[in-house]
């Protein structure tokens, strides 16, 4: 009996030490993030920013979630949607499309089946900064969600574990 109580106390302490305090509760989804991260909306897109490194931080690593629904996509499978996304990106990425990889992935609190897309590009930054993108694509009902983590390659791994934890809290509504 004493062992069980000790184990429960240790588990409770460890759980409390890692409780994130920020909640992003949107109409279509919610997620939990560490209190050191910030939130904003850009053009209606919810964004969660990693902590600012310094005043000279040229790019803040971030997560954003977009959704797409409607007659053009609602009947697509996830693989068809990913293929279409890649085809739409090819004119923008040019030769950088070679870095594009797709693998199965499970997203969020309810383990929604998805696909993980990864690629590196200089095409999305005005100043030509190289960015590494990690995108989890899921279909919930007749709607697709794309969860994107964007970072510079040298900072990508610094926040990656936190990003995976944040994505693990996503709940689609």
Contacts of 115-121 spanning 24+ positions with Cβ under 8 A: 115/78, 115/79, 115/82, 117/82, 117/85, 117/86, 119/89, 119/93, 120/96, 120/153, 121/93, 121/96
| pLDDT (mean) for 4-20 | 39
Are the CB atoms for 96 and 121 separated by under 8 Å? yes
| pLDDT (mean) for 141-159 | 94
- For 128-150, give the DSSP string: ---EEEEEEEEEETTEEEEEEEE
Are the CB atoms for 148 and 138 separated by under 8 Å? no
Burial label for 134, CB within 10 Å (0-12, 13-18, 19+), is buried
Residue spans per domain, the chain: 20-172
Superfamily, domain 20-172: Mog1/PsbP, alpha/beta/alpha sandwich (3.40.1000.10)
Least confident interval from 15-24, 36-45, 67-76, 91-100: 15-24
Q: For the whole model, what pTM was predicted?
A: 0.82
CB atoms within 10 A of CB 108: 21
More confident residue, 116 or 21: 116
Are the CB atoms for 22 and 34 separated by under 8 Å? yes
Dist CA 40 CA 166 (whole Å): 16
Dist CA 144 CA 107 (whole Å): 12
Q: If you average pLDDT over each of 20-24, 77-81, 98-102, 129-133, which comes out highest?
A: 77-81
Dist CA 25 CA 2 (whole Å): 40
Cα separations (Å) of 88 from 10, 52, 82, 91, 94?
Answer: 50, 32, 10, 7, 11
Beta bridge partners of 144: 68, 139
| pLDDT (mean) for 21-49 | 89
């Amino acid at each position: 009996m004493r062992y069980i109580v000790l184990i429960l106390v240790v588990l409770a302490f460890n759980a409390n030490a890692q409780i994130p305090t920020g909640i992003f509760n949107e109409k279509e989804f919610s997620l939990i993030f560490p209190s050191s991260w910030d939130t904003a909306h850009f053009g209606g897109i919810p964004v969660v920013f990693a902590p600012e490194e310094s005043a000279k931080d040229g790019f803040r690593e971030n997560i954003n979630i977009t959704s797409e629904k409607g007659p053009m996509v609602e009947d697509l499978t996830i693989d068809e949607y990913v293929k279409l996304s890649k085809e739409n990106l090819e004119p923008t990425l040019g030769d950088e499309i070679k870095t594009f990889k797709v693998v199965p992935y499970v997203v969020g609190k309810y383990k929604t089946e998805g696909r993980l897309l990864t690629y590196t590009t200089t095409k999305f930054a005005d100043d030509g900064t190289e960015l590494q993108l990690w995108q989890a694509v899921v279909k919930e009902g007749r709607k697709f969600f794309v969860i994107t983590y964007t970072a510079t390659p040298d900072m990508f791994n610094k926040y990656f574990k936190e990003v995976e934890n944040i994505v693990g809290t996503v709940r689609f509504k």
